[in-house]
């Protein structure tokens, strides 16, 4: 870690009484791990793990999805940004019904509307998904940070990312509800 290298150099400088000598550091790159980073199985296993451990429900990838979110009167989208060796975002999107069901599993409460608790729950779920996904690649786990979740609600909106380096977009099912998760990478070092 760079900070440790700075601290070691300062200690060594103090011992030698003078000139700064930095130890050589190896540059970390995700280019060699691109296949692992963009592996769709990592996204699927992250979603399944988070839903099982945090919500107590089984979740599986929908291989024949029908996008129902635009047909609902309100949808919920959470975005967590990646920064570091990978820049991009994890995007969670669901309809109103699925968002309230997810929040109900998280809190043990029932919801009649998309309130602040539901929005906070969906934001936190997206954060957990992003963390679980990036944790599956050691170089990414150690060299990529997460932003605070942003949550968008409403109807008839599209999220657009210009020229991504790679993108994973999968639909999932749980308890009769559906949602989708997108990992988008717009820059890779």
Lowest model confidence (mean pLDDT) among 35-49, 127-141, 153-167: 153-167
pLDDT over threshold 90, residue 55: yes
pLDDT above 90 (res 178): yes
Buried b (16+ CB within 10 A) or exposed e, 75-100: bbbbbbbbebbbbbbbbbbbbbebbb
Give the per-residue pLDDT at 25.
47
Instruction: Write down the domain spans for the chain.
Output: 29-188
Query: pTM of the predicted model, to two decimals?
Result: 0.81
Tell me the pLDDT tens digit for each residue of 124-156.
999 999 999 999 998 899 999 999 999 999 988
CATH, range 29-188: 3.40.1550.10
Between 27-31, 79-83, 86-90, the lowest mean confidence (pLDDT) is in 27-31
């Amino acid at each position: 870690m760079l900070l440790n290298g700075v601290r070691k150099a300062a200690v060594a400088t103090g011992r030698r009484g003078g000139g700064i000598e930095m130890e050589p550091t190896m540059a970390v790159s995700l280019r060699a791990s691109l296949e692992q980073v963009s592996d769709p199985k990592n996204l699927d296993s992250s979603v399944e793990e988070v839903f099982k451990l945090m919500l107590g429900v089984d979740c599986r990838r929908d291989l024949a999805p029908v996008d129902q979110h635009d047909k609902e009167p309100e949808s919920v989208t959470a975005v967590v940004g990646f920064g570091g060796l990978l820049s991009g975002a994890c995007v969670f999107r669901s309809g109103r019904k699925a968002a309230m069901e997810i929040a109900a599993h998280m809190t043990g409460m029932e919801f009649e509307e998309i309130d602040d608790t539901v929005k906070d729950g969906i934001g936190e779920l997206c954060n957990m998904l992003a963390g679980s996904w990036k944790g599956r690649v050691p170089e990414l786990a150690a060299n990529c940070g997460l932003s605070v979740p942003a949550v968008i609600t409403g109807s008839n909106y599209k999220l657009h990312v210009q020229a991504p380096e790679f993108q994973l977009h999968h639909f999932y099912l749980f308890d009769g509800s559906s949602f989708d998760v997108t990992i988008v990478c717009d820059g890779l070092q």
